[in-house]
Amino acid sequence: DKFMAMEGLKRQPLPSGLRKGRMSFCTGATLRCNTKDTATLLGDDKFMAMEEKVNIVPRFSSDKPVDCIKGQFGPFRAGSAAEVPLWAALEMDRLQQCTVELPEWLHEEELKRMREDESKNKEKFMKVPEHYIEIAFAFLTQSKAFNDDHRKKVRTFLLLRELIEERRSKIVQGLKQFDSTPMEVNVSGMAAAELTCFRTRSLHALDKFLDLLRSRAVAELEQGQAEATEATQQEDSSSTRPL
């Protein structure tokens, strides 16, 4: 099928249910751009992000590794950590075949440190994962990594947004400098999506993404509050029932 051809997988048995799922993360944020070139480049960035390796803990065992055009992943042992491409991790997570582990940099304390470092160093971009925007959004919207803690998910959304805003301001400053005095601009340290926005001189996609992060955070907070209220009402109802 199309997914097998795209990923370069050989025609061999895969773990049950490991097929293409909903891979449309970041669509609303990155593809509604004001230039075709920007959209195309951001689509390439997203595709490359899906190939990044992440850690999972599978809930099944498989003796045969899966062959991919860029290498193999597996075999799998239930309960033992394994490394797979992000697209495979998200699909297996959706099918409840594994638990996806958060990258170290996506934990709250590390995001806080990254944000603070970015704020303190106004003249340069601090080092971040090349596809941190796409990967973080995929974890926040497609994985079950945050399902048990709405507040943690909200905090992560907000921390990510603050980090991107700090870096966006540096992109704006770089564009202004380039416009006023044509010169070499140091873009080392920019993530893939940020570099694309800089090269095409379009921040529309980045702004859309920031708006999406904010609305997602609000939605998650409201959902968490609604669930807490429902749980309280159920407890009250149980306590008032006649014995």
Mean pLDDT, the chain, as a whole number?
76
CATH class of 2-24+52-100: alpha beta
Indicate the pLDDT class of residue 185, thresholds 50, 70 and 90.
low
CATH class of 104-230: mainly alpha
CA 199, CA 176: separation in Å to the nearest integer?
13
Task: Give the pLDDT confidence of 122-175 residue by residue, as tens digits.
Answer: 888 999 999 999 999 999 989 898 888 888 998 999 999 999 999 988 888 877
Residue entry with tokens 């149980």: 238
pLDDT on residue 149: 85
Sequence ranges of the domains in the chain: 2-24+52-100, 104-230
Indicate the pLDDT class of residue 78, thresholds 50, 70 and 90.
very high
Contact criterion met (CB below 8 Å) for 174 and 198: yes
Q: Which residues pair with 66 in a beta bridge?
A: 73
98 DSSP assignment: E
List strands edge to edge, sheet with 82-85: 82-85, 53-58, 98-100
Task: Give the pLDDT confidence of 200-232 residue by residue, as tens digits.
Answer: 776 776 777 677 777 777 777 777 666 666 666
pLDDT on residue 102: 95
